[in-house]
Amino acid sequence: MEAALLRVCGPLKRARLQPSWGLCAAAGGKVFRGPTLTLARRLNVQQAVDHWGQTFERSGIPEPILSSQYIIAHVLGAKTMESLGSRRLREMLTESQVRRIWELCDKRLSRMPVQYVIEEWDFRDITLRMRPPVFIPRPETEELVGLVLSAQLPAQGAGVTVLEVGCGSGAISLSLLQALPQLQVIAVDRSRDAVGLTRENAHRLGLQDRLEILHMDVFLDAEGLLRGWSPVDFLVSNPPYLFSEDLADLEPEVLEFEDTAALDGGADGLQVIQSILTLAPRLLKDGGEVYLEVEPRHPPMIQRYVEEDAAAGLRYLQTHSDVAVRQRFCVLRKGGAEQ
Ligand SMILES: C[S@@+](CC[C@H](N)C(=O)[O-])C[C@H]1O[C@@H](n2cnc3c(N)ncnc32)[C@H](O)[C@@H]1O
């Protein structure tokens, strides 16, 4: 599986802390505690960051320094340490700040992902509430949104409807709505937690009026989806796509905190993808397109599946790579004519 991916996006924006698909880190089972609260009362901001960075590192917590920085910046009302400025780093922490930092860093010591610890995360231009077990959006999904936005769309998305299968926290649907002020989106998820969090995020961002959120399983409720909500112009999904046998190798952050049903795509990772491809010709308008985020082994499998006519009416258009040059995105179109 892939290694953790970190990319710094500038001092005021959070770095891309990957909740990590990576293999288990060697924690050695030993959890090192930070300085006692009594000692911590005499710490300034930078000293607290250093203490927790070292404590996380000794305990085998992935991305120890960033974890410490994000949690402490959050407690101080900022997104990054850089945005606090160097003078603030030398200021002594108050007693209530120390208590809050210790409480949140203890959660991180239990391997809870930072995104759940601080209960929010940035995705493209929006900040989303995060809550377990709803899937934490990964950095490459920002690229999927970029691909959809690079499609030929009417100005501001006027008259265009997107259907997202598996909306999770709402990252894809809400960032599309944010970018295109006249777009309409239908967001579907089988998880009640996901539907609730997407609704909460939509209201926080003021995007609820152009978003229909449906608690629906695309396997079980396909006919209802078709009857009530087709045809649409685009079908977008970051579905569960991991091969079941790979799940056991995931980090505790993923395995213990995120919904397994958001990750597990069955034996070949294609279970939900195939039902999306089967439904797509009936859900889409003629010329409508499917944008999928997948595992690097999937693009040739999906191309074969479509060419064998298993998803009659769909044509495989392109595979796109992510910034790490892994083949991660598939684009398909309904209808035979080139455009
Ligand atoms: C990998 S997560 C993606 C979440 C979000 N789109 C994102 O990129 O952060 C996959 C989502 O698909 C949902 N899901 C899985 N199977 C589904 C099904 N049969 N019908 C509808 N949603 C499903 C899961 O509950 C989960 O929220």
**In terms of Cα–Cα distance, which of 35, 2, 32, 36 is closest to 19?**
2
Domain count for the chain: 2
| Shared domain check, 95 and 216 | no
Contacts with 75 (C-beta within 8 Å, 6 or more apart), sequence order: 97, 100, 101, 104
Residues of the chain with pLDDT under 50: 1-12, 19-29, 339
Residue 264 in contact with ligand 1 by CB distance below 6 A:
no
Residue with tokens 């479509």: 306
**In terms of Cα–Cα distance, which of 231, 229, 330, 222 is closest to 279?**
222
Give the type of residue at 203.
H
| Shared domain check, 189 and 303 | yes
| Shared domain check, 277 and 138 | yes
Instruction: Classify residue 98: in a domain, yes or no.
Output: yes
What token pair was written down for 212? 């229909």
Residue 263 Cα: closest atom of ligand 1 = 1
pLDDT at 290: 98
CA 140 to centroid of ligand 1, rounded, Å: 15
pLDDT at 28: 41
| Shared domain check, 181 and 40 | no
Residue 237 Cα: closest atom of ligand 1 = 6
CB atoms within 10 A of CB 64: 18
Please say which residue of 73, 92, 118 terminates a domain.
Answer: 118
pLDDT at 18: 53
CA 191 to centroid of ligand 1, rounded, Å: 8
Catalytic site residue from 56, 123, 135, 329? 135
| Shared domain check, 290 and 166 | yes
Strands 327-334 and 284-293, how do they pair? Answer: antiparallel
CA 110 to centroid of ligand 1, rounded, Å: 25
Where helices occur in the chain by DSSP H, the ranges are 37-40, 45-58, 64-75, 86-89, 95-109, 114-118, 139-149, 171-179, 192-205, 222-229, 252-257, 271-283, 298-307
Residue 276 in contact with ligand 1 by CB distance below 6 A:
no
Residue 141 in contact with ligand 1 by CB distance below 6 A:
yes
Instruction: Classify residue 127: in a domain, yes or no.
Output: no
Phi, psi of 178 (to 5 degrees): -65, -40
Q: Is 238 an active-site residue?
A: yes
Q: Is 44 an active-site residue?
A: no
CB atoms within 10 A of CB 276: 22
Residue 239 Cα: closest atom of ligand 1 = 10
Instruction: Classify residue 99: in a domain, yes or no.
Output: yes
CB atoms within 10 A of CB 211: 25
pLDDT at 23: 30
| Shared domain check, 247 and 146 | yes
Domain, as residue range, for 264: 134-334
Q: Whose CA is nearest to atom 14 of ligand 1?
A: 166
| Shared domain check, 268 and 181 | yes
Phi, psi of 214 (to 5 degrees): -120, 130
DSSP 66-105: HHHHHHHHHHTT-S-SGGG-HHHHTSBPPHHHHHHHHHHH
| Shared domain check, 303 and 227 | yes
What token pair was written down for 237? 């999904």
CA 258 to centroid of ligand 1, rounded, Å: 11
| Shared domain check, 101 and 37 | yes
| Shared domain check, 214 and 148 | yes
| Shared domain check, 255 and 329 | yes
Residue 139 in contact with ligand 1 by CB distance below 6 A:
no
Please say which residue of 86, 118, 150 terminates a domain.
Answer: 118
CATH number of the domain to which 313 belongs: 3.40.50.150
Q: At 186, is the secondary structure helix, strand, or coil?
A: strand
Kindly report, residue by residue over 130-150, the tens digit of the pLDDT: 999 999 999 999 999 999 999
pLDDT at 37: 59
pLDDT at 24: 32
